[in-house]
């Protein structure tokens, strides 16, 4: 039974399911924030700052995603 869990964990890690799921969720959130912002008649400074922060964080998320793969130990 333990070998089954190790195999499953290895596959999830190899397929990078968690980083891909987080990127998909971030993409959805960014889209929703953009649609909300574009629907505002006269956005306030706080709303502009909020949207800028959400979209600016995208660069960090993408950097984490790109740098999270391909780190295999040399054998």
Segment-wise mean pLDDT, segments of 10 residues, the chain, 75 residues: 84 83 90 96 96 88 77 53
Q: To the nearest 10°, report the CA torsion of 63, 64, 65, 67.
A: 80
Query: Per the structure, how many domains does the chain have?
Result: 1
* Cα–Cα distance for residue pair 12/49, rounded to 1 Å: 36
Q: Is residue 74 domain-resident? A: no
The pLDDT value given to residue 75: 43
pLDDT tens digits for 33-50?
A: 999 999 999 999 999 999
Determine if the pTM surpasses 0.85.
Answer: no
DSSP summary character for residue 62:
H
Instruction: Give the domain range for residue 34.
Output: 17-67
The pLDDT value given to residue 16: 82
């Amino acid at each position: 039974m333990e070998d089954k869990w190790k195999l499953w964990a290895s596959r999830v890690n190899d397929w990078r399911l968690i980083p891909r799921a987080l990127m998909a969720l971030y993409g959805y959130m960014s889209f929703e924030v953009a649609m909300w912002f574009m629907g505002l008649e006269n956005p306030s400074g706080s709303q502009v700052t909020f949207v800028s922060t959400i979209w600016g964080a995208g660069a960090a998320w993408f950097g984490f995603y790109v740098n999270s793969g391909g780190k295999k130990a040399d054998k």
